[in-house]
Structure 1
Amino acid sequence: MKKEIPDKNLFMMCKKLNTCALAELPNGYHVRTCRRNELDIWKKMPFDDEKTAEQYSDYMTKYFNDVYASKEDLFFNKCLFVCDKNDTPIGTCFAWKAYDRITTIHWFKVVKEYEGLGIGRALLSVVMKSIPKDEYPVFLHTQPSSFRAIKLYSDFGFALLTDPVIGYRQNDLEECLPILKTYMFKEDFEKLQFAQAPENFLKAVKSTCINEF
């Protein structure tokens, strides 16, 4: 199904956390930080199979070097894994101060075999609760293929940004809305909120051509 969906840019902003969306981890799972010897596990986490992970290996290494390497200690302090009872990582997500100015959600992903168990909602709950109120609004970048995650983000209080350009990237909202309407449940699609990006955010994302979220 997802292979039919084009890889387009969507951006979301949460001004205030909807605490009604929060959830606890199911029994048998726990959250901890990524260890230094697990960096390769983290780099593969966003991809559903080994072949795709291999294809994007150089991309993930470059992204790590561009965005996190200069603050490596902070990365390993921030980057979270949700793990099973054997302490095996099966999901990741963390909050990151992009451009040293704006709080962003990075690399939210639960391994495909563990989707639908409430693990993603619980992991996102941990991350969102960890962000101080004075660091809101919180921003993220996503794609229409992540329509299930978009529904989850919406539950937490995220709205889709309407600005046509975000930094040096096109915001493909108008093109993506019909796609989301096709794949999301009607009631979920109709609950989507929209917002214009604040000026300080737009200035931050234009401060470098490196996409830090």
Structure 2
Amino acid sequence: MLDRSVPYFNVIMKRRPGRPIPECPLPAGYALTRFSPGSESRWAEIEASVGEFERAEEAIRYFRQTYMPMPDELGKRLLFVENERGEAVGTIMCWWDCTAGRRDPSIHWFAVKREHQGKGLGKALVAACLREMIRLEGDRDMYLHTQTWSYKAVRLYNRFGFEIMRDETFGSYANDYDRAMPILDALLKQEGE
């Protein structure tokens, strides 16, 4: 869930090659699946449920415009976690962004529905995504864009070797390090207590 009570600033994180990926199995009753045609509605429902979009219809429009032109890539790169009833309750994209002619592996759109958070699904999704990205792109620098609203995810990303970048960025993302860090430091310290 996004915490919109805090000011919004962009945060850029990078994972250098060679970092170990912790073993994070899914709990009983959950399974990892991949995108198949029609799954965009499942993705949209998850993303809307965590506040990334106001409505699932808006998310579907964005998804179709941004990702559907590459259906073969979606089948390799968009992961879901399903519960025992086959409902998609979490998602992550093992995607990329282009930076000055360079293709940078990057995590896009990581989310777990609120009622399924705290069960280890997020850890399992990030671990699976990193393994898939290494398989697809090689073990090299990987990036992600997040924001102060997602400060709880920053701690999770740290556990997987992602570090907050002071000056560096990728794709077309802004890096608001100087404005984001005082907020993140205060929130993460408070969360640790």
1:69, CA displacement in angstroms? 2.8
Q: Does 1:47 align with 2:48?
A: yes
CA deviations over 1:29-52 (Å, ceiling 9, x no partner): 110012212212212322336895
Given candidates 114, 118, 121, the residue that maps to 2:120 is 118
Q: Which residue of 2 aligns with 1:72?
A: 71
**Does residue 176 of the first structure (1) align with residue 175 of the second (2)?**
no
Aligned to 1:105: 107
Deviations 1:123-171 (A, max 9, x none): 1111112222734111110011111111011111001111176554431
Q: Kindly state the Cα deviation for residue 70 of structure 1 after the two structures are TM-superposed.
A: 2.5
Tell me the distance in 1 between the aligned counterparts of 2:176 and 2:60. 23
| 1:7 to partner: Cα distance | 2.5
Q: What is aligned with 2:25? A: 24
Q: Percent identity among equivalent residues?
A: 25
What is the TM-score when the length of structure 2 is the normalising length?
0.83
Structure 1 counterpart SS, 2:106: strand
* Aligned ranges 1:135-154 → 2 under 5 Å: 135-154=139-158
Paired residues, number: 186
**Change in CA separation of 1:187 and 1:2 when aligned onto 2, cut-off 3 Å:** closer
CA contact (8 A) 1:9 1:172 kept: yes
Structure 2 counterpart of 1:97, one-letter code: W
C-alpha contact (below 8 Å) 2:7/2:148 kept by paired residues:
yes
Query: Which one has a larger percent helix, Structure 1 or Structure 2?
Result: 1
Cα distance in 2 for residues equivalent to 1:163 and 1:34: 34
Work out whether residues 30 and 81 of structure 2, in 8 Å CA contact, stay in contact via their aligned partners in 1. Answer: yes
Task: Tell me if structure 2 keeps the 8 A contact 1:17–1:157.
Answer: no
Q: In 2, are the aligned partners of 1:78 and 1:94 still within 8 Å (CA)?
A: yes
Letter in 2 for 1:73: D
* RMSD, matched Cα: 2.7
**Residue type at the aligned position of 1:86:** R
Cα drift, residue 64 of structure 1: 4.0
* Greater mean deviation of Cα atoms: 150-159 or 8-17: 8-17
Q: Structure 1: how far apart are the matches of 2:191 and 2:116?
A: 25
Say if 2:19 and 2:161, in contact at 8 Å, map to a contact too.
yes
Q: Is the 8 A contact 2:104 2:170 kept in 1?
A: no
